[in-house]
């Protein structure tokens, strides 16, 4: 009976995936939820899920759970661009949704970088083919952000909106765990692995004009950089050990 039951569960989940009920990269219900809803043991549920994994339909990550298998979206780090640019280059539909927009007192890290007591703070979610792909928070000095509206930043990037000439940016990338706020926005479990990227953007006069934080679900993105052959005369770069 158990043999038939796990196949029935697998058939039901397969149908929901193929119908789009669970989108590519999207989470499935947890093993405990499936166990309760089908009135079976977690052993039976696990067998059904493993069957679908063997078919290449779903996958799992420790601390994350089961999700619909999908190729990670690869972002190149060799040039300065936006998430929208990267997604469009991959043929993926991109959308942004602003969650918070307003002028605030600069948090310590923001003040350290932008040297501004007040900043425009914009928090948004970027979607890829309709699914949450990144939580982005951008801080901009008050004098540069006073002319911007919520509609502006929901429609266009800061690079297009600011009345400055962008010069360069530095991006720092590290591993982190999703807190409750990001987990809700990105539709992932609390504590699941994420990539956290901090970007500082300067104008051509070397003024820091933007500080942004990007948080990506670990199972949905890969960051790719092309490495030229090492030149000893230039010294090592790009790697920093962080001490806690």
Give the start-to-end residue ranges of the domains of the chain.
2-68, 73-225
Name the 3-class secondary structure at 236: coil
What pLDDT does residue 231 have? 60
Sheet with 94-105: list strands edge to edge. Answer: 94-105, 118-128, 131-141, 208-217, 193-203, 166-177
CA dist 132 and 130 (Å) reads: 7
Asked if 75 and 223 count as a contact pair (C-beta separation under 8 A), the reply is yes
Asked if 207 and 114 count as a contact pair (C-beta separation under 8 A), the reply is no
Q: Helical H runs in the chain? A: 2-18, 31-38, 42-54, 83-89, 108-114, 142-145, 150-155, 158-161, 180-186
Question: Mean pLDDT over all residues of the chain?
Answer: 85
Q: Could you give phi then psi for residue 182, rounded to 5 degrees? A: -70, -35
What pLDDT does residue 131 have? 83
Q: Is the pLDDT of residue 230 over 70?
A: no
What pLDDT does residue 222 have? 75
Count of other CB atoms within 10 angstroms of residue 179: 12
Selected residue with higher pLDDT from 31 and 83: 31
Q: Domain 73-225 carries which CATH code?
A: 3.40.1410.10
What pLDDT does residue 117 have? 97
Q: Is the pLDDT of residue 199 over 90?
A: yes
What pLDDT does residue 116 have? 96
> If you average pLDDT over each of 60-74, 164-178, 216-230, which comes out highest?
164-178
Contacts of 171 (CB under 8 A, 6+ apart): 77, 197, 198, 199
Residues 109-162 pLDDT 10s? 999 999 999 999 999 999 888 888 899 999 999 999 999 999 999 999 999 999
Q: Are strands 94-105 and 73-76 parallel, antiparallel or unpaired?
A: unpaired
What pLDDT does residue 241 have? 46
What pLDDT does residue 226 have? 72
Q: Is the pLDDT of residue 237 over 60?
A: no
What pLDDT does residue 92 have? 75
What pLDDT does residue 233 have? 53
Asked if 76 and 224 count as a contact pair (C-beta separation under 8 A), the reply is yes
Token pair, residue 222, equals: 């890969």
What proportion of the chain, given as a percentage, has pLDDT over 90?
A: 39
Q: Is the pLDDT of residue 239 over 60?
A: no
Residues 52-86 pLDDT 10s? 888 888 888 776 788 887 766 666 666 666 777 77
Asked if 64 and 85 count as a contact pair (C-beta separation under 8 A), the reply is no
Q: What average pLDDT does this structure show over 28-33?
A: 86
Contacts of 156 (CB under 8 A, 6+ apart): none
pLDDT band with cut points at 50, 70 and 90 for residue 182: very high
Give whole-number Cα distances, 83 to 45, 140, 144, 151, 210, in Å. Answer: 37, 18, 22, 18, 15
Asked if 135 and 185 count as a contact pair (C-beta separation under 8 A), the reply is yes
What pLDDT does residue 167 have? 93
Q: Domain 2-68 carries which CATH code?
A: 1.10.10.10
């Amino acid at each position: 009976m158990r043999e038939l039951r796990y196949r029935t569960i697998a058939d039901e989940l397969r149908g929901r995936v193929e119908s789009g009920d669970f989108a590519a990269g999207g989470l499935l219900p947890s093993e405990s939820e499936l166990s309760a809803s089908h009135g079976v043991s977690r052993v039976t549920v696990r067998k059904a899920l493993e069957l679908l994994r063997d078919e290449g339909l779903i996958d799992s990550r420790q601390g994350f759970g089961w999700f619909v298998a999908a190729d990670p979206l690869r972002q190149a780090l060799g040039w300065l661009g936006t998430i929208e640019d990267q997604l469009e280059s991959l043929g993926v539909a991109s959308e942004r949704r602003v969650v918070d927009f307003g002028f605030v007192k600069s948090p310590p890290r923001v003040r350290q970088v932008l040297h501004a007591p007040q900043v425009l703070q914009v928090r948004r979610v970027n979607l890829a083919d309709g699914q949450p792909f990144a939580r982005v928070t951008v801080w901009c000095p008050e004098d540069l952000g006073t002319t911007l509206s919520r509609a502006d930043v929901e429609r266009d990037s800061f690079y297009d909106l600011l009345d400055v000439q962008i010069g360069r940016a530095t991006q720092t990338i590290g591993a982190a765990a999703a807190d409750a706020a990001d987990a809700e926005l990105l539709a992932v479990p609390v504590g699941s692995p994420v990539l956290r990227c901090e970007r500082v953007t300067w104008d051509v006069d070397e003024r820091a004009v933007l500080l942004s934080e990007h948080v990506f679900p670990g199972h949905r993105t890969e960051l790719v950089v092309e490495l030229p052959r090492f030149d000893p005369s230039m010294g090592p770069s790009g790697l920093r050990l962080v001490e806690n």
